[in-house]
Chains A and B, each alone.
Chain A
Amino acid sequence: MQGSRRAHAPPLRSFRQIVEQLSYSEAVLDIELGLCLIYGMHSSPVVSIEQIRKSFGLFEAVRGVSCRIEAGECFGLLGPNGAGKSTLINMIYGASRRTSGKLEVFGMDPNVSSRAIKARLGVVTQENALDEGLTVRENMELYAAFVGVPARERKQRVRDLLGFMNLAHKENEPIQTLSGGMQRRLVFVRALLGKPELVILDEPTTGLDPAVRHLLWGKVNQLKAEGKTILLTTHYMHEAEVLCDRLVIMNKGEVIASGTPKDLREAHASGYVAVFETGEDFAALRTGAGSRSYQVLEDSSGLYVRAPRLEDLLDLQKEHGRQALQLRPSNLEDVFLKLTGPELNVDA
């Protein structure tokens, strides 16, 4: 562990060399280690993926994906339906075996050491898969046993986490009586029972109302603050923007873009966006925007025009005597639509 941490720490190594030249003592080694821990970025990644592929029969769902998830970060995995996000996640925790490529989680290979890996991570699965034969507490105590919580601590661990997710009052209810949002929160509880270092969230907020979604974002931020590493997939670009430090966008089994949300915005959709109402004749507007080489995207919900500056869009409005429904800075959704194309979402 320590060896590999040093191997990834060239700047600190030179720092150490300088200090050694000043003939300082062994204590410097401790400083170096301490710095590594503080900055985190020089420690070995929690997940390291190289050219990973997965085929189901003739169909290749993941086609050579590479990325690294560092300790303590929230890493986003975006992409349209069928992009291969869940397949990738399943391979990370060993529920599915990769066809080829290299994959290490906590420095171990999931095909070999899936049990040891799974003992250190928790998964909010895309489907709730709660055990309907059991009550809330029975479900959670069973899973506490699965993740190795000693028998006498289970009750308390379950209580604490139900409290954390505001579900304490549902302890003795059967699963069926819980609303969708409560069930989702319970799946969070289930994922956290083993005090995981890595929390995998596969579409944690799909189908939930905005209040629950915001509540869950708060919880995810709390987990981040506790130093947990998080892998998140979502179809809500705003959610990715709020939570993710870095992210990749996948499409048809390949990574088509990666970086921080800010990097991605700047690289693929910088500037400001005006959204004009649907149902009107866009021709003149489209030509006008096109002639200034602003990016234009049209779909059933309206005409999206992206320009470098807000003033450009104001000018465009004035020129055509039209009022945009929305004028806003570009966001990840613009990046996503530009890269994956609106038509892809239709047949997936």
Chain B
Amino acid sequence: MLNETLKLSWHIVRRNWWVYRKDFLANISPTVTDPAFMICSLGLGLGSYVSEMHDRTYLQFLAPGLAVGTAMFTAFFETSYGFYIRMTYESVFKAMLATPIGVREVILGEFIWVALKSALMVFGVSVVFLLFGQFQNPLNLLLTPVVGILVGVPIGAVGLIATCYVRNINQFQTVYSFIISPLYFFSGIFFPLTQMPEVVQLFAKVLPLYHGVVLCQSLYWNENIAAVWLVHVPVLLAYSAALLLWAYYKVLSKLQA
């Protein structure tokens, strides 16, 4: 039963991979170009105005957060615009649901796909950063995909929930402006949260992205990995579980009218 569900979900992952693969170069190039541009403009440009932070250069501070940010954008765009287009304009699921595939398999498949894609993104960006000497311990690179998954799943769920509420594709812009953007700017990617008033700190710490940023920083900086992961991984798992469940029931009522 569960085995069958996993098998069917996996076919959906394969489907998305086949489509992704067709424009592989176009799809994969931001993984390399994004960090390269970030290093140039933010690290070297802006960084020269910023004094050393906690014994590290601004680029060193910035790199792990930027890597996690790419996972968030990947996950959000995949399950918002991407899923919406597949559901509405391409009606991909209409025919799928006439096969042994059910809504459960569709959702599981989409999440596996989002998790893999986010993992790939964080890993790819980190490889580039590694080449620019941003890893204290290169072996830590191997754990970066886990951060991608832990961030990709809850953010992917946010996108999926949004997909169920929007009345047309333009409304994703609102979700982006009021949820995704603030997450990006207030999760300790660009500056240490300790700089901010306590209210803002508290706000940031409640949001999921912050925890992913902290995880990734521990990997890049090779600092307190075990202790940091012990605290922040459970938070992200809890977020994943809760948002996934919410997304599941929303999509269920949407696809199974």
Contacts and interface: CB of A to CB of B under 8 A. Distances in A.
Interface of A: 56, 93-97, 114-115, 118-119, 122-123, 125, 127-134, 138, 142-143, 145-148, 187, 190-191, 194
A142 B15 contact: yes
A146 B96 contact: yes
Given A130-B95, A131-B15, A191-B98, 13 more contacts: A93-B98, A95-B97, A123-B95, A125-B94, A129-B90, A131-B90, A131-B92, A133-B90, A138-B18, A143-B95, A145-B11, A146-B100, A147-B99
A146 B8 contact: yes
Nearest to B92: A131
A125 B22 contact: no
From B8, B15, B97, B98, name the one whose CB has the most chain A CB atoms within 10 angstroms: B98
Contacts of A96: 256-257
Interface of B: 4, 8, 11, 14-15, 18-19, 22, 90-92, 94-102, 256-257
A206 B215 CA distance: 56
Contacts of B8: 146
A119 to B, nearest CB: 5
Given A118-B100, A134-B15, A129 B4 contact: no
Contacts of A194: 99
A151 to B, nearest CB: 11
Contacts of A97: 256
Nearest to A95: B97
Nearest to A93: B98
Q: Can you list the 3 inter-chain pairs with the closest CB atoms, starting with the nearest?
A: A133-B19, A123-B98, A129-B95
Contacts of B90: 129, 131-133
B256 A129 contact: no
Contact of A146 (B19, B99, B257): B99
30 contacts: A56-B257, A95-B97, A96-B256, A96-B257, A97-B256, A115-B4, A115-B100, A118-B98, A118-B99, A118-B100, A122-B98, A125-B95, A125-B98, A127-B91, A128-B95, A129-B91, A129-B95, A131-B15, A131-B92, A132-B90, A134-B18, A134-B19, A143-B99, A145-B11, A145-B14, A146-B8, A146-B99, A147-B99, A187-B95, A191-B98
A148 to B, nearest CB: 7
Nearest to A121: B98
A112 to B, nearest CB: 12
B177 to A, nearest CB: 29
Contacts of A129: 90-92, 94-95
A321 to B, nearest CB: 56
A288 to B, nearest CB: 52
A320 to B, nearest CB: 53
Contacts of B91: 127, 129
A118 B8 CA distance: 13
A114 B19 contact: no
A87 B99 CA distance: 17
Contacts of A190: 95
